[in-house]
Structure 1
Amino acid sequence: MSNIQDQIQEELKQAREVCSTEGATSGDCAAAWDAVEELQAEASHQQQGEKKKTSLEQYCDDNPDAAECRVYDD
């Protein structure tokens, strides 16, 4: 995950440079900020993909024989 954060920081730096030299209304400036947005969206998507366990799931991992963790087949 830190790799994508490094890429985001690099793209932010480039976007600021492009916008300061080309102007805030230039096409290159808009494209640079689009690249930043896409990387941020990807980072967000990757974070959502990492499923966090609920407290019950953690408890059942530690105590598989507990009554709360029993699974019954029909």
Structure 2
Amino acid sequence: MAINDIEKQIELERQNARETCDLSGSNSGECAAAWDAVEELQAEASHQRQSVKPKTSFEKYCDDNPDALECRVYDE
């Protein structure tokens, strides 16, 4: 799931949690479960943001020039 999709899903789950808590009460199990779903999606979004790191100039160079001596990788 892309980060933009997750953000949209988080907003939908927030709305659902608010409605659920309004209907069943803020101390109900349904309310707690709805907010747990929001927290799980927020954790996934955070994880995806952390795992996306920009490439360094050297990595870009090696992508463009895989046969360059400084980009070669040797098995030991």
Unaligned runs of 5+ in 1: 62-74
Aligned to 2:52: 50
Query: Aligned partner of 2:9: which letter?
Result: Q
- Extract structure 1 runs of 4+ deviating beyond 6 A: 55-58
Tell me how large the CA RMSD over aligned residues is.
2.7
The number of residue pairs the alignment matches comes to: 74
State the alpha-carbon separation in 1 of the partners of residues 24 and 7 from structure 2. Answer: 25
State TM-score, norm by structure 2: 0.69
Instruction: Determine which of 7, 15, 18 is the counterpart of 2:17.
Output: 15
Aligned to 1:67: none
State TM-score, norm by structure 1: 0.71
Unaligned runs of 5+ in 2: 64-76
